[in-house]
């Protein structure tokens, strides 16, 4: 008798313990009948039939178009909704580049009272870092961060720019 491994429970079972499915390997589904009858799978299938999917980060059921396409997944949709994915990618990059967690980032944001460390404007803040070492320095507004970057993080050039502005 032919057997197949259930992708849900990981148990090798006889083919007769799987529902038939014309697109499945061996002509059956990848999940056994027992697993398909479990409450979690029933809820997941019911959501999908209604055109909804649960995002694990925001814990909200959202319409399927709220998820990016991902052909590597069984349902061909990303695990995380678009809204959460932007935030997830942002903090994944921050964590990998500057070794800064989302909690640390928001704590700094709060300490700075949502203001740039240089101009004190209350605006969207970006991460400032030393271009030589890659070390995180603080949260600045885009303009101040660009200004420092365009002057090559060089204190001498910055002082000369200040002198220039004072003489004008």
Write out the DSSP string of 49-109: HTTEEE-TTT--EEEGGGEEE-TTSTTSEEEEEHHHHHHHHHHHHHHHHH---HHHHHHHH
Same domain? 48 vs 107: no
Same domain? 32 vs 43: no
Same domain? 12 vs 45: no
Q: Measured between alpha carbons, how far is 94 from 125 in angstroms, rounded to an integer?
A: 13
94 in any annotated domain: no
pLDDT of residue 36: 76
Two tokens, residue 166: 């004072």
pLDDT tens over the chain, length 168 residues: 788 888 888 889 999 998 888 777 788 888 888 887 777 766 676 667 678 888 888 888 899 899 999 888 877 889 899 999 988 888 888 888 888 888 898 898 899 999 999 999 998 899 998 888 888 899 999 999 999 989 988 899 999 999 999 998
pLDDT of residue 46: 63
Helix orientation angle between 102-111 and 82-98, rounded to the nearest 10 degrees = 90
Q: What domain range is 57 assigned to?
A: 38-89
pLDDT of residue 54: 84
Q: What is the CATH number of the domain that holds 57?
A: 3.30.60.130
CB 67 within 8 A of CB 81: yes
**Using alpha carbons only, how large is the chain's radius of gyration in Å?**
26
Choose the final residue of a domain: 51, 68, 89.
89
Same domain? 11 vs 71: no
């Amino acid at each position: 008798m032919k057997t197949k491994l259930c992708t849900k429970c990981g148990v090798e079972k006889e083919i007769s313990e799987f529902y038939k499915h014309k697109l499945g390997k061996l002509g059956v589904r990848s999940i056994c009948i027992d697993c398909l009858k479990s409450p979690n799978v029933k809820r997941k299938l019911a959501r999908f039939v209604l055109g909804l999917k649960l995002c694990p980060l925001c814990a909200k059921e959202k319409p399927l178009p709220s998820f990016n396409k991902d052909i590597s997944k069984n349902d061909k949709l990303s695990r995380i909704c678009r809204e959460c994915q932007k935030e997830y990618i942002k903090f994944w990059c921050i964590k990998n580049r500057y070794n800064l967690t989302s909690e640390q980032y928001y704590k700094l944001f709060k300490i700075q009272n949502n203001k740039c460390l240089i101009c004190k404007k209350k605006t969207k803040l970006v991460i400032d870092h030393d271009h030589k070492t890659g070390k995180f320095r603080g949260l600045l507004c885009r303009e101040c961060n660009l200004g420092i970057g365009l002057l090559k993080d060089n204190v001498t050039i910055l002082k000369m720019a200040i002198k220039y502005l004072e003489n004008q």
